[in-house]
Structures are given as C-alpha cells and as structure tokens.
Structure 1
Amino acid sequence: MEEQRIIKTHKLIINNRKTSMVTGVLDVLSFDLNEILLETEMGMLMVKGTDLHVNRLSVEKGEVDLSGNIDSIAYSNVNQVNRQNENFFTKLFK
C-alpha cells in the first residue's frame, strides 16, 4: 500500500535578522555557529550566518527557535524516495 504523507503547516518567521522561529521541522541534520541545516515539510532549509544557536527544539511539535546573526536562508527540494534511503552523512555532505 502506498504511504500517504500528511502535509503539515510550515512557517518561517524572522525577527530583525536576529531570531527565527520555524515550524514544520522534521529533523535538525547539522548545526554549528555558521550554518544550520533543517529538514522541513517543504524541503531542506539552510540558514547561514554568524554566532547561530538552536535555542529550542521540539521534535514532537516540529518547532525550532534560532538566534544569531542571520545572513541567508535557502531552500532545496529533496526527493521523498531518495530521502528515505539516505543516511545521515549522505544528507550532511550534499
């Protein structure tokens, strides 16, 4: 039987390029002071900047609060079938 995926609401709110609240987050794949990579309902989300921090993560609710100096935000699509077959390191080094 084909698996049906329920699309949840994805929201990205940025306040003064210093704080951000993201909903519809499936996973935090990597993070450091200059880059945060999130898997969201709408694709991969890359946040770049300086002094970035993940202040709050709620996997159950799919919410993440970020802070720091946000320089750029970029989305990229990931094929659903390929995503299930990839491991953490494959996703990380794309």
Structure 2
Amino acid sequence: MSQYYTSVPNKDKPAQNHDIVIRNRKTIEITGVKHVESFDHEEFLLETVMGFLAVKGAHLKMQNLNVEQGSVAIEGKIFEISYLDDQDGEPSKGFFSKLFK
C-alpha cells in the first residue's frame, strides 16, 4: 500500500459535515476527510470526522483531493465501503485486524 499523509487544517473551523456520494459504483465523493492514511488500487483508508473509512474495489485511483475542504473523489470499481470503528465512536481494539482481513 502506498503511504500518503495529509491533514486538513481545522483551526477556527466549525464542525465539518461528512457525506458520501456514489455514482454508478464508478465514482465516490467523500467530504469530512481529515487524513488520507493510505491507498492503492484496491483500497483507500481515510480518516473522516466520523471515524476511519475503508473504500475497497478494483482499479481505484484518486481523482480529486481538496485538503482545505476535506474532500476526496475516487474513481474505479467500488466493491465495499465500511467504517472501521465501533458505533459509539470509540476505535475498536481490533482496528488493524479489521484493516488487514
């Protein structure tokens, strides 16, 4: 997996919304992104304002990254989208075990 670290400056910013828009399983646009933790052609791992988000698929590539707005657009064949932490907002103890299934 390629490592790509970025952060969205959040000084004096109000809480950011988190939205996901999928078009025909070929394009996904995500807002509320804090960091792009890692990515390759099969998986993107993003830290969002709502927790860690994994996008899995084939031939995935980043189409757009707007650090100031905290948005990412990914293109490719999308198979799965999943959050990698517990529903109560606390990261699970098995974070890395879920990541490397």
Q: Same fold (TM over 0.5)?
A: yes
Report whether the alignment pairs 1:26 with 2:31: no
2:76 counterpart (60, 68, 88): 68
Deviations 1:37-83 (A, max 9, x none): 00000000000000000111011110001100000000123648xxx
Aligned residue in 1 for 2:5: none
TM-score by length of 2: 0.70
Report whether the alignment pairs 1:39 with 2:50: no
Q: What is the alpha-carbon distance in structure 2 between the residues aligned to residue 67 and residue 46 of structure 1?
A: 14
TM-score by length of 1: 0.75
2:59 counterpart (51, 54, 64): 51
Q: Which runs of 5+ in 1 are unaligned?
A: 81-91
Equivalent residue of 2:25, what SS?
A: coil
Q: What is the alpha-carbon distance in structure 2 between the residues aligned to residue 63 and residue 23 of structure 1?
A: 4
Question: Where is the helix percentage greater, Structure 1 or Structure 2?
Answer: 1
Q: Structure 1 counterpart of 2:83, which letter? A: Y
Q: Which runs of 5+ in 2 are unaligned?
A: 1-12, 92-98
Aligned residue in 2 for 1:86: none
Counting aligned pairs with the same residue, the percent is: 46
